[in-house]
Amino acid sequence: MAEHDNNRTVPNALPTGYRFNEFEIKEVIGGGGFGIVYRAWDHQLERTIAIKEFMPSSLAVRSDDLNLVLRSERFSKTFHAGLNSFIQEARLLARFNHPNLLHVLRFWVQNDTAYMGTIFYSGTTLSRLAAQRPELVNETWIRRLLPPLFGAINTIHQKGYLHRDISLDNIQIQENMMPVLLDFGSARQTIGNLSDETETMLRPGFAPIEQYSDNNESEQGPWTDIYALGAVLHTLIVGAPPPVSVVRSIEDNYQPLAEQRPTGFSLPLLHAIDKALSLKPEDRPQSIDAFAALMELSVSDLNDILNVNIEGPGTMLMPVEPEAPAPVAASPLKRYMWPGLAAAGVLVGIAVGAMIAGNGNSEGNSDAAAITATAPPHSVEAPAVVSASGQTAANSAPQPAVQPEAPPPEPIAQVYIKLRLGDDVALNGNQQALVPSPNGFASLQLPPGEYTFTVTNQGSSREQKITIDRAGVWLINPQS
């Protein structure tokens, strides 16, 4: 999110200095046909966050009082269905806890629209990076990029959901070169379905044939996202996306990469991309694991990245050596039908996720149907963020003055620790109640300092020490 636009180039953006209670907008960092993204400052926790606003420019404009106003009443149904999908997407993302998947801190309704506050990710989009530094794109670099992306996508699939909008613009490459998978395609797809503009709402070349169908029984599944991911890799390698799938359904003029043989890329990688871009869903890999196996990415890659610099002071999420790709999830995923995230009224529970770089608690506080503003601008009742500040020691009159205790430093590091079944964790000798997520990682936030993780299981123990001296995401795997 380092490529910044400004309010002059993004119509309908909120002004710099606008406040959502403790959140103050500092600048516009992106905008498109469906939303605007801002860089904001959290005055309570003293950190930078990103705020995304639901703003479909084809349906609404911003009035003088900063509320959204429909361009026409006939857009009401479409706008509110898209708004509901946006809220459901925020709720869904808040449930996931994966270092390479966009993490939502909270969401709320205001200005006759909705907002989600997320972690602020450094770097730029994959599309900009590939354009600005084409020399980076080779097979070694791609094989380092894929395992964390596979892990993020597999996390979504294992919960029974689809992303449905994977593209180079929806993959953020951080300054440490690790990818983060961004927005789902839920609101975009919902608006397209209701406005009879599905084709214009999809990304040409990245959307498989089943996404163009107006038949609700059309079968979509992990293979739908795999097609889009194949299109991303195709674009990186040859500089252009594959032909539009609708056109291919009439006359398939796709030229397999395995036949083109672009210089510097192996046949297993090219063949896997060709299979992912098969026109018929049943001809594609049916799971991320199957896709990884085709390009000969082994499950052992997970252990390779976890063990990088394991003997050093700690492992930041940094680029790994060519022989040590990043993790790929290995759980099998059965074939099933899923209509996507666009269905209105999907009931998704809100879960507290780990928050990178010292986050507070994540909690949703708005009903999907509540879409009217409840407070004027600059005086918004947004959900409060709880700070982990300490208390000041009290002074007694006859006693010598006692200096008040300084509040403990705010957490700055998000630590992900790989655990096994039955592991107990102690941090600097203090027992921790850590519960790993389905991907095997537990998480916690820590301030600067030196830490020793001791993991015990059935009488045996393993240990790892780290030194936290800067904000970021840390990935550790204590060894026996």
Binding residue ranges for ATP:
52
- Amino acid at site 79: F
Give the span between the Cα atoms of 149 and 229, in whole angstroms: 10
- SS3 category, 109: strand
- H or E element that contains 415: strand 413-418
| Exposed e or buried b per residue across 311-347, where buried means at least 16 C-beta atoms within 10 angstroms of its C-beta | eeebbbbbebeeebbbbbbbeebeeeebebbbbeebe
- Amino acid at site 234: H
Give the span between the Cα atoms of 170 and 324, in whole angstroms: 25
Residue whose entry in the numeric block shows the structure tokens 């900063």: 66
Give the span between the Cα atoms of 303 and 438, in whole angstroms: 17
Burial environment of residue 228 by CB neighbours within 10 A (0 to 12, 13 to 18, 19 or more): buried
Closest CA to 184 of 89, 52, 79: 89
- H or E element that contains 85: helix 76-95
Tally of residues, the chain: 480
Closest CA to 258 of 299, 286, 285, 230: 230
Give the span between the Cα atoms of 239 and 172, in whole angstroms: 18
Annotated binding site: 52
